[in-house]
């Protein structure tokens, strides 16, 4: 399985810190007995918005192995290019296991694959529900700065909110990195 990281428009060092903080939960970049291939789209400036560049990156790295399952993790402006690239990858016959948007506020998130949103505060979480209902999301509590969600997911505490149709489950307290790990583990097992 491959995890496709699509950064936003920010310093590349923040993405390195995100990967370090997130992969601290992965032992040797693996889940269980399986190796996880982490591919980072080298977004520079507005290329983060370009689904065509992200799709070309996928084709170059995966060599058109469409059967290879992928999970997208995108941040901020990178959500724009990543969601369209996920649709395009799927239209080509690719297997998108899940799409995870970190602070992708204001971006409609629809697709025929599971979509999850991590938000830096409750307002962003709440106001994003009008742009597409998801099953499992996370929001920071207490709220944090937008870039902190990307730079240090292991330090951001908050709530995993599970919603199934109109029935809400009891929220679970954990870090953003633990939430990401739980999602990836779930999709790796499927």
CATH 1.10.3470 applies to domain 2-189: no
pLDDT of 159 strictly over 60 = yes
pLDDT of 40 strictly over 60 = yes
pTM: 0.90
Cβ pair 6, 41 in contact under 8 A: yes
Could you report the per-residue pLDDT of 100-158, keeping only the tens digit for each?
999 987 777 888 999 999 999 998 888 777 666 567 899 999 999 999 999 999 999 99
SS3 28: coil
Could you report the per-residue pLDDT of 50-90, keeping only the tens digit for each?
999 999 999 999 986 888 899 999 999 999 999 999 999 99
Domain ranges, ordered by start, for the chain: 2-189
Mean pLDDT for all residues in the chain? 87
DSSP state of 31: E
Which residue matches tokens 């937008």? 146
Could you report the per-residue pLDDT of 136-151, keeping only the tens digit for each?
899 999 999 999 999 9
């Amino acid at each position: 399985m491959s995890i496709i990281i699509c950064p936003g428009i920010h310093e590349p060092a923040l993405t390195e810190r995100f990967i370090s903080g997130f992969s601290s939960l992965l032992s040797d970049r693996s889940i269980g007995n399986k190796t996880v291939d982490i591919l980072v789209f080298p977004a520079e400036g507005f290329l983060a918005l370009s689904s065509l560049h992200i799709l070309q990156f996928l084709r170059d790295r995966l060599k058109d192995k469409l059967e290879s399952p992928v999970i997208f993790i995108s941040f901020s402006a990178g959500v724009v290019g990543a969601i369209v690239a996920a649709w395009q990858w799927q239209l080509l016959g690719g297997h998108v296991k899940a799409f995870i948007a970190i602070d992708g506020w204001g971006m409609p998130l629809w697709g025929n694959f599971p979509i999850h949103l991590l938000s830096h505060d409750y307002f962003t979480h709440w106001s994003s529900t009008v742009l597409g209902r998801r099953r499992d999301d996370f929001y920071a509590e207490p709220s944090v700065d937008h870039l902190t969600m990307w730079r240090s997911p292991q330090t951001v505490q908050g709530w995993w909110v599970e919603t199934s149709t109109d029935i809400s489950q009891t929220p679970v307290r954990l870090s953003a990195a633990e939430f990401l790990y739980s999602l990836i583990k779930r999709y790796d097992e499927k």
